Amino acid sequence: MDGPLRAFLADLFRTAVDAAHPATCLPPPLPAPPNGRLILLAAGKAAGSMAETAERFYLNQLGLSPERLCGIAVARHGYGRPLQVITMIEAGHPVPDAAGLAAAAQALELADSGGPNDLVLVLMSGGASANWIAPADGVSFADKQAVTRALLRSGANIGEINTVRKHLSRIKGGRLARHAYPAQLSTIAISDVPGDDPSAIGSGPTVPDPTTLADARAIVAKYRLALPESVTRALNDANNESPKPGDPAFAKTSFALAARPADSLRAAEAAVLKAGYECVSLGANLEGEARDVAAQHAALARGLRAQGKRAVILSGGELTVTIRGKGRGGPNQEYALALSLALAGMPGVAALAGDTDGTDGGAGAATDPAGAYCDGETVARAKALGLDPAAFLGDNDSTGFFEALGDLVAPGPTYTNVNDFRAIVVDRP
């Protein structure tokens, strides 16, 4: 694809990611240390870097004695960071594994140890739902994994997925707050969800849960999920209802956002305007089927071209893919493949779609691609290589398609996560 436009798109992606890195956004909301112990519990794709930043703040900047700091951080495999005092664990994502199971057990034990003079500091980021796995009583670890796989394949959005998972857990949906009480509980999160709902980030382990067991059962019915018998029983057991507003567990809690998808989008908007383009921002909360959204955005790009405008279309949010084929890929790559078909033959246009955490779909490896580049010549270049873009899209094999073209976005772990980032440049032909 066009070299200068590709470089510009890569710069926009880095700008968005840098704005949400814990080293930049976390120090301001960190609370003062308590009179007693500081118990740090971090989970999600940014957990390692959040814990690393917090350690530097308390130990190096404030001079807190290491004996007063303890805790555990769990991130997906490949996303760990070197820590001074806090234990670092790498665990499975999006399907949980035994490491996540052990990490959640340790986090609950540490929370249980907190007293009235202690502060339990919870650092949350996207991915925590898979990294902290503590199945409800009567639900086996294997059954919980099976539920996660079924939900991921169903086309359910992240809110629906988390609604089910929260009612099959001993840590999610406000339950960690019950373990931390009577210690002071402070949660700081990097949001990866549309609307920045605290109960949705990492399945809201420290905040009241507005969803119910009935909601979870409705989602199971909506997607006609075949679930293990133990899961069906759990979703019909009133003891698995999550704590609601007014529960005593939330009497000594606080919640703050360190970074939001909108913050990263605004940083990219400033870079777009500085480069001399008009910015068309569609917001940070887009949802929907990846290929359908791509068609809408392609129509918008063609409309801007027809008006003779030189512009960049920016959007965030979290798209979904209903899996019909057997290929590899994620929502960002599928969006880019569908977009390349919709923009075929249009000169002076290029796009990037990538997940700010550094991986998009894939098999769970830290080296999985984050997304892909495409432009108006992508389809022609593919056909010259004997590739049929429509066939790749039908097989959900966007990774295979862009791998063959050399157009994958593969930055590796970014140590943060504020959802998807998409940019379409409409330049002069």
Question: Which of 235, 260, 285 is the C-terminal boundary of a domain?
Answer: 260
pLDDT of residue 322 exceeding 90, the answer is: no
Do 297 and 352 belong to one domain? yes
Do 45 and 136 belong to one domain? yes
Phi-psi map region of 415: left, alpha, beta (phi>0 left; psi -120 to 50 alpha):
left
Number of domains in the chain: 2
Q: Residue holding tokens 């035994």?
A: 98
Q: Which of 216, 249, 210 is nearest to 234 (CA)?
A: 216
- The CATH number for 292's domain is 3.40.1480.10
Tell me which residue range forms the domain holding 174: 22-260
Do 370 and 415 belong to one domain? yes
Q: What is the pLDDT of residues 200-222, one digit of tens each?
A: 899 999 999 999 999 999 999 99
- Residue 157: pLDDT band (50, 70, 90) is confident
Question: Which of 260, 286, 312 is the C-terminal boundary of a domain?
Answer: 260
Do 54 and 137 belong to one domain? yes
Q: Which of 226, 222, 176 is nearest to 203 (CA)?
A: 176
Instruction: Kindly report the pTM of this predicted structure.
Output: 0.89
Do 33 and 106 belong to one domain? yes
Least confident residue range of 155-159, 281-285, 295-299, 339-343: 155-159
Q: Residue holding tokens 């917001």?
A: 283
Pairing status of strand 371-375 against strand 408-409: antiparallel
Do 212 and 241 belong to one domain? yes
CB 402 within 8 A of CB 408: yes
Residue partners of 140: CB distance under 8 A and separation at least 6: 228, 230
- The CATH number for 236's domain is 3.40.50.10180
- Residue 148: pLDDT band (50, 70, 90) is confident
Least confident residue range of 1-10, 248-257, 389-398, 417-426: 1-10
Question: Which of 223, 239, 260 is the C-terminal boundary of a domain?
Answer: 260
DSSP string, 316-344: -EEEE----SS----HHHHHHHHHHHHTT
Do 253 and 370 belong to one domain? no
Q: Hey, is 366 helix, strand or coil?
A: coil
The pLDDT of residue 362 is 74
Pairing status of strand 349-355 against strand 371-375: antiparallel
Q: Which of 161, 168, 162 is nearest to 223 (CA)?
A: 161
The pLDDT of residue 2 is 64
Do 335 and 207 belong to one domain? no
Do 239 and 322 belong to one domain? no
Do 256 and 272 belong to one domain? no
Helix extents (H) in 223-330: 229-234, 261-274, 290-306
